[in-house]
Amino acid sequence: MASLPNDPRPATPDTEDVRPAPAVVDREGAPRYLIGGEGGDFIAATLSRATDVQASMERVRALGALSDRDAEPVLGLLSALGIRRGEAYREMLERATKELIRRVETLPQGTLLSLLDASFPYIGIEELKAVPLAVFAHMSPVPSSYLKQVSRDLVIFRQLPVEVQRQCWALDWQLLRRHASPSMMAYGEETATIEAMINQNIELTPLRADEDWSPREEGAKKKGDVSGTMNRQKIRKESESVQRLMRIIGKTPRLYIEIVRLCRAHFANSGDDAACSLRSQLLMAFHDAGEMEMCSMDKCHRLAWLMDTCIRDRYLDGRRLKEMGTILETAVEKANKMGGRKPPKPQGPTRFRLVGLGVAPKKDGNESDDGGSISRVHDAHEKDEKFEQVPGDMGMILADPPVLHLLLHETVRTLEGVIEAERVPAKERRLDDLTKFICLALTSQACLMEKVNYIPATPKEICVKFFPLLSDLMLSVMLRESDDGIESEEGPTNDMNAEMREKFKALMIWSPCVRKIMLTYALICLQRKNIRTATEVLELAVEVLTDETIAYEGAFATTLAESIAKLFSSKEITTKDAIWKHAVDGLLIRAASTSLEAHSEVLRLLLQASDDLSAESLAHALETTLKNSKASRKRRRKRAKKIVYEYDPIDEKAKTTYGSSHNFAEVELTQPPRDTSTLQPFTANVDGIRAAYQLFAAKGKLNEGNAPVLFDYINKRNKRDGKDVGNTGTIDGETYFDDDGEDGGSLLEFGLSRDVKSPSVIRDSPLMSPR
Note whether residue 177 is domain-resident: no
Helix (H, G, I), strand (E, B) or coil at 119: helix
Name the residue range of residue 718's domain: 549-740
Query: Span 373-389, mean pLDDT?
Result: 42
Is residue 470 within 8 A of residue 495, CB to CB? The reply is no
Helix (H, G, I), strand (E, B) or coil at 207: strand
Query: Span 732-753, mean pLDDT?
Result: 39
Note whether residue 632 is domain-resident: yes
Is residue 538 within 8 A of residue 579, CB to CB? The reply is yes
Closest CA to 556 of 564, 187, 625: 564
Query: Span 364-368, mean pLDDT?
Result: 39
Q: Which run of H or E residues covers position 25? A: strand 24-25
Q: What tens digit of pLDDT does each residue of 699-732 get?
A: 888 889 999 999 988 887 665 555 544 443 333 3
Is residue 374 within 8 A of residue 449, CB to CB? The reply is yes
Q: What tens digit of pLDDT does each residue of 574-584 get?
A: 999 999 999 99
Contacts of 146 (CB under 8 A, 6+ apart): 116, 120, 136
Q: How confident is the model at residue 38 (pLDDT cuts 50, 70, 90)?
A: confident
Q: How confident is the model at residue 740 (pLDDT cuts 50, 70, 90)?
A: very low
Q: Is the dihedral of CA 440, 443, 448, 451 positive or negative?
A: negative
Q: How confident is the model at residue 291 (pLDDT cuts 50, 70, 90)?
A: very high
Q: How far apart are alpha carbons 138 and 435 in whole angstroms?
A: 54
Query: Span 515-542, mean pLDDT?
Result: 96
The pTM (predicted TM-score) of the whole model is 0.80
Note whether residue 480 is domain-resident: no
Note whether residue 491 is domain-resident: no
Instruction: For the chain, give the percent of residues with pLDDT over 70.
Output: 72
Q: How far apart are alpha carbons 526 and 570 in whole angstroms?
A: 13
Query: Span 591-618, mean pLDDT?
Result: 92
Q: How far apart are alpha carbons 727 and 430 in whole angstroms?
A: 56
DSSP state of 90: H
Count Cα neighbours of 212 within 13 Å in the Cβ-side half-sphere.
5
Q: Is the peptide bond between 512 and the residue preceding it cis, with omega within 30 degrees of 0? A: no
Is residue 4 within 8 A of residue 100, CB to CB? The reply is yes
Q: Is the dihedral of CA 414, 417, 423, 424 positive or negative?
A: positive
pLDDT (0 to 100) of residue 86: 81
| CB atoms closer than 10 angstroms to residue 746 | 14
Note whether residue 601 is domain-resident: yes
Note whether residue 758 is domain-resident: no
Q: One-letter amino acid identity for 439?
A: C
What is the radius of gyration, based on Cα positions, of the chain? 33
pLDDT at 187 over 50: yes
The structural domain count of the chain equals 1
Q: In whole angstroms, what separates CA 724 from the centre of its chain? A: 32
Note whether residue 688 is domain-resident: yes
Highest mean pLDDT among 351-355, 370-374, 642-646: 642-646
pLDDT (0 to 100) of residue 595: 86
pLDDT (0 to 100) of residue 335: 75
Burial class of 368 by CB neighbour count within 10 A (0 to 12, 13 to 18, 19+): exposed
Q: What tens digit of pLDDT does each residue of 4-35 get?
A: 344 444 444 444 444 554 445 555 555 567 77
Closest CA to 471 of 422, 419, 513: 419
Note whether residue 282 is domain-resident: no
